Amino acid sequence: MEPNSLNPALYITGLGSQYPPYLLSAEDLDKFASRFHDVSRPGIKKLLQVNRSTGIETRSAVRPYEAGFATQKDPPSISEIDQFFRQAGVDLAVQACQKALTEGHVSPQQITHTIAVTCTNQGNPGYDFLVARKLNLPLHVDRMLLHGVGCAGGLSILKAAAQIAGGASLRRKPARILAFACELCTPDVRHYLSIAERSPDSDQVNIAAVLFSDAAARFCSLQ
């Protein structure tokens, strides 16, 4: 079908994903929790019970439980987590983007828009700026960063990309969109464990620490 302003032709031309090098098991988290916390307390006891019941064999991680934040006496600060994301998270994102660009036969200089999503980093400038810089995208690229949409992030960037491409079509402009998501959840595990240890109510425990992990994914869309 020939594209026109009322019926733009939209295509996803390339996909890419990137996982970090480490895999953590449920048993690894049990041992890690015992190293720093009183696992007999009701909150953390419930959390570790859920950990053993999820059926998740392994979760990808940017670091093992024997390095980095996992070796510190106190949980990392927000600033430390932010700095770490801006290195490890950005590197994951860049690798996934490069895969999507290669598969889509699109050069970085052809990208007109980027759409990024994360709920595990809130630093400024947004991590999308750092990814764009490492990829050597054009300085005039239009950037959009979606924060706090959680598990709806994938659908959110698809919707945003379609809307941007449709708008560009109405203005008879090209749209070559690089959309990406990156989440690093394991650096926050110390905080989740500390909160669970202090919680007197086992029914109010946040189970994110035993469900989510670290990875990045991207797609390249053309209009």
- Active site (catalytic) residues: 151
The whole-angstrom separation of Cα 101 and Cα 97 is 6
Contact between 218 and 96 (Cβ < 8 Å): yes
The whole-angstrom separation of Cα 209 and Cα 143 is 30
Sequence-distant (6+) residues with CB within 8 A of 90 are 127, 130, 131, 134, 182
CA dihedral for 19, 22, 27, 33, sign (positive or negative): negative
